[in-house]
Structure 1
Amino acid sequence: MSLDSMIQTAEQSLGLSGRPNALTNDYASREGQEYAAAPWCDEAVTEWARQSGNFAAVCPSSQDYAYTVAHAQAFADAGQWHSGIDGIQAGDIAFFNWEGNLTVAGIEHVGVVTGTSGAYALTIEGNTGDVCARRVRGANVIVGYGRPPYASAVPALAPAPLPGGPEWPGEYLRLQSSMEHDDNVRTWQQHMHDRGWSIAVDGWYGQQSDSICRQFQQDSTAHGWPLAVDGVVGPATWDATWRRPVS
């Protein structure tokens, strides 16, 4: 529950690209599937806040934000808004406009400030060219920033484990030279699809299933449900598919 943990959590997403992705799927699991493929810069900030235990500080009123204007206005309503770039520092949430409309109503983008270099702010941003990446931003595009009260942050409540699903069938689902195809694969794919993952439910354990499995294993580990990231649906990953809360 600190600005360091917020930045470290954002750093773990560097290189994430495309949509849906792990961040947008998490956001959509709470707010609706239309968010899984939506512009995701503020969804990313919300998820980093949740995962790092800084949700109440970074998201005023303890609500999810995907709309950058509403997020900036919430900082303003809480007395935590600063116009322009003066005084910006690590941990601040910076809001941007690309056409020179430096008003809250004109905000188009958001990122987390990791530091400064001279007159520039260094950031990590989701959905910058549909990628999570580091950026360097100047006063000409920074509308302002919110300064979260990190010392008062409280973590978002972790949901309880869900009831278990079907018993592990005793078959390791994995990518093989002779592609695996059976009802066990189809059952796992269907539940992953129901959780919000973009996966074909065809009973074939191919490249897509392997990739989704690895993403799920990595995402589960990041959310306190450690799994080996190996692309294999064994007993632990099978169990997590049903019992791990949708985060």
Structure 2
Amino acid sequence: MTAASMLAEARKSLGMSGRPNTITKEYAARHGDEFLNASWCDMAVTYWARHSGNASAVLPGGDRAYTVWHAQDFQKAGRWHAGTTAQVDAAKPGDIVFFDWGASNTVSAIDHVGVVEKALGGGRVQTIEGNTSDACKRKVRGADVIAGYGRPDYSGDDWTEAIVNKLPQVSKGDTGEHVESVQGLLLARSHPEVAVNGEFDATTEAAVKAVQKWGGVTADGIVGPDTWPVLLRVH
């Protein structure tokens, strides 16, 4: 599984237009004829992933035609990055990028999806997208319309998941070395107000909630399987 193979497959579709097409026909064959003439941006991502051997990395929840569910799959896997300028600048080729034309950065408002071909800096990426004016095209998009992106585990060796499986859930009132780990990670996430004292206090909880909002997971102040990956995220 590689980002390069995902992009090579996507490039083969450039210029495809109209529907039904090869992508919608294949999706409909598995999921029903109602998909033959449906919006096909995420069907295209599904097609490229399956044809490049990247299905398990790009489709953590299985085939997707609905962009909101696909983005939520990446959130659940702890592989979601919000669409801020800084985050967009950290995008990599092969990342699956989701767009909200209303510029709300809200996952439930996502309208469209593509794959990052190149990070251009300045909060911009070059993409390959299906169903752009009913065609597959290269586009340049900015952080203003990027709701966020999912980072597929192309390596097939998700070190974050392996670590998280060994970590306990901690929350306000807890003490000990795992709380110290949380506090150290919060300091690395630009929360200098947090003291590394092993006591999960109100200040630590507030910082955890801020990081959870940034990472696109439920902001409940509890560090569990959804939040450890956000704290451990490497760019």
Normalised TM-score (structure 1): 0.60
The 1-side partners of 2:103 and 2:137 are apart by 23
Letter in 2 for 1:13: S
Q: Aligned residue for 1:199?
A: none
Q: Aligned residue for 1:23?
A: 23
Letter in 2 for 1:134: R
Aligned mate of 2:98, from 95, 98, 112: 95
Q: Which runs of 4+ in 1 moved over 6 A?
A: none
Q: Aligned residue for 1:55?
A: 55
The 2-side partners of 1:86 and 1:14 are apart by 24
5+ residue gaps, structure 2: 158-235
Q: Per-residue deviation at 1:118?
A: 2.4
Aligned mate of 2:143, from 111, 115, 139: 139
The answer on whether the counterparts of 2:97 and 2:150 sit within 8 Å (CA) in structure 1 is yes
Q: Per-residue deviation at 1:101?
A: 1.8
The 1-side partners of 2:129 and 2:139 are apart by 7
Q: Per-residue deviation at 1:5?
A: 0.3
The 2-side partners of 1:73 and 1:109 are apart by 14
The 2-side partners of 1:86 and 1:131 are apart by 26
| Correspondence list, 1:154-233, <5 A | none
The 2-side partners of 1:100 and 1:112 are apart by 19
The 2-side partners of 1:118 and 1:68 are apart by 25
Equivalent residue pairs, number: 152
The answer on whether the counterparts of 2:129 and 2:138 sit within 8 Å (CA) in structure 1 is yes
Q: Aligned residue for 2:79?
A: 80
5+ residue gaps, structure 1: 154-247
Letter in 2 for 1:78: A
Letter in 2 for 1:141: V
Aligned mate of 2:109, from 100, 106, 109: 106
Q: Aligned residue for 2:126?
A: 122
**C-alpha deviations, 1:4-58, integer Å up to 9, x for none?**
0000000000000000000110111000010010000000000000000000000
The SS at the match of 1:150 is coil
The 1-side partners of 2:138 and 2:39 are apart by 17
Q: Per-residue deviation at 1:99?
A: 1.5
The 2-side partners of 1:106 and 1:133 are apart by 22
The 2-side partners of 1:116 and 1:152 are apart by 23
The SS at the match of 2:114 is strand
**C-alpha deviations, 1:118-142, integer Å up to 9, x for none?**
2210000000000000000001000
**C-alpha deviations, 1:204-228, integer Å up to 9, x for none?**
xxxxxxxxxxxxxxxxxxxxxxxxx
The 2-side partners of 1:128 and 1:22 are apart by 16
**C-alpha deviations, 1:182-232, integer Å up to 9, x for none?**
xxxxxxxxxxxxxxxxxxxxxxxxxxxxxxxxxxxxxxxxxxxxxxxxxxx
After superposition, the CA RMSD in angstroms is 1.0
The 1-side partners of 2:121 and 2:148 are apart by 17
Q: Per-residue deviation at 1:86?
A: 3.9
